[in-house]
Structure 1
C-alpha cells in the first residue's frame, strides 16, 4: 500500500515536470499554481493516510500476537475432568466396613484425561496444578443415620460430611475443596469405619473433580 502511494506521488511530480513550455506565461503560471496546490493537498492526504495505515498495521500485529498467545495457552493446557456416581446398577447400602475404605464410584459420567480410576475410586494427578473436588453423601435409610465420609489427599484428611443422629430417616450433604497437587498425588473419598451410605439409580452419592490451572 505504501509503495503504491509513493508511485502515485512520483507520477504527479513527473507530470509537473512535463508541462509544455510553449504555453503562454499566464497559462503556465495558472497551471503551475494549480498543480502545486493539488500536489500539496495530495501530499498532506497521503501523509495522513500513511500514518493511518501504520496505526492499522500496528494494531493488526498486536492482535495477531494476542491470538498466538491465546492459541498457545489453549492448546498447551491439559484437559482434566471427571464425574462419577456410586452405583452403575441396583440400589442399597455400602458399608459398614471394619476399617476406613475408599468409595468406588463406578458409574462414570465423564473422565477426560483418564485420571480417575473407577476400579479403585482414586483420582491420580498427572499434571502439577490446582484442582477442584466435590463429593456428596446420602445416608442409609435407617431409624438413626450413621454416615460419615471424607475427602482424602494421599493419606491425609481434607474435609468431611457426616450425619450420625436425628429423628428423620435420611439426610444428604456435600463438601468441596480446591487442592494443590503434585504429579502422583492421589485424591479419593473415604467411608469411615462402621458407617453406611445408601444409593440407587438416582445417583445421590457423587464424586467430581477437574483441573483449575497448572502450576
Structure 2
C-alpha cells in the first residue's frame, strides 16, 4: 500500500502537476505550495488506506463469525431419516409379529434398528412414516394385513385378505409427534404373510420433519 502512495506521488511530480508556467511567480513559493498539496494528498490517501484496511478486517471478522454461526446451526439441527426393505419373505406365523426390515437403504441418525424392527426417536419432534405391504398370492387367497404402530398403539393399517389377482401392494403413512424414546414399527398380524425379493417390494421409511 505504501509503495502505491510513493508511486502515485512520483507520478504527480513527473507528470508536471507541480510546474509553474508563470515566469513572474517565485519558483520557490510555487514549489512550496506544490509540496504542501502533495503532502496533503498523501495524508488523505493514508487515512483512506487505514479506513480500507479496517473495513477489510471487519469484513473478514464478520465472514468468520458467519461461518462459525452456520457450522454451529448445522450441528445443532438434528438429522434423522431412514429407509429399510424387508429382504426375505415372511410366511404366515401363529402370532402377531414386529416386522424386521433387514436391508438398510439409509439410516441417518441410527434411529432404525434392524434387529428389533423399531425406529426409536432420539429427538422430540414431528415425524413422517410410510410403509408398503406386498403379497403375491402364495396361498389360495390374498393374505396380508399389517399396521403402523407407536408404543403398542395401532395407528394406520393396510389389509388384503381376499381376491384372486396374482399380486397386491398397499401403502399407508402417518405424521406423528414423538418424544425421545418413543418407538415406531410395523406389525404383521397372525397367519398373514409378506412377499419380497431383490426388488424390495416391502419398505419402511421415516424422517424428522422438525424438532419440538
Normalising by structure 2, what TM-score? Answer: 0.71
Corresponding residue to 1:208 among 205, 208, 212: 205
Map of 1:103 onto structure 2? 99
> What do you get for the CA RMSD once the two structures are aligned?
3.1
The CA distance in 2 between the partners of 1:38 and 1:129, in whole Å, is 68
Mark the runs of 5 or more structure 1 residues left unpaired by the alignment: 9-24
The CA distance in 1 between the partners of 2:83 and 2:179, in whole Å, is 21
Q: Does 2:124 align with 1:124?
A: no
Number of paired residues? 191
Map of 2:177 onto structure 1? 180
Task: Determine if contact 1:140/1:147 at 8 Å carries over to the other structure.
Answer: no
The CA distance in 1 between the partners of 2:27 and 2:98, in whole Å, is 102
Map of 1:85 onto structure 2? 85
Distance 1:180 1:60, change over 3 A: farther
Map of 2:130 onto structure 1? 134
With 129-138 and 72-81 compared, the bigger mean Cα shift is at 72-81
Normalising by structure 1, what TM-score? Answer: 0.70
Corresponding residue to 2:195 among 171, 193, 198: 198
Q: Secondary structure at the match of 1:94?
A: coil
Map of 1:19 onto structure 2? none
The CA distance in 2 between the partners of 1:51 and 1:39, in whole Å, is 18
The CA distance in 1 between the partners of 2:49 and 2:170, in whole Å, is 67
Mark the runs of 5 or more structure 2 residues left unpaired by the alignment: 7-24
The CA distance in 1 between the partners of 2:145 and 2:86, in whole Å, is 15
The CA distance in 2 between the partners of 1:178 and 1:64, in whole Å, is 39
Map of 1:158 onto structure 2? 155
Q: Per-residue deviation at 1:158?
A: 3.1
Task: Determine if contact 1:123/1:188 at 8 Å carries over to the other structure.
Answer: yes
Task: Determine if contact 1:144/1:169 at 8 Å carries over to the other structure.
Answer: no
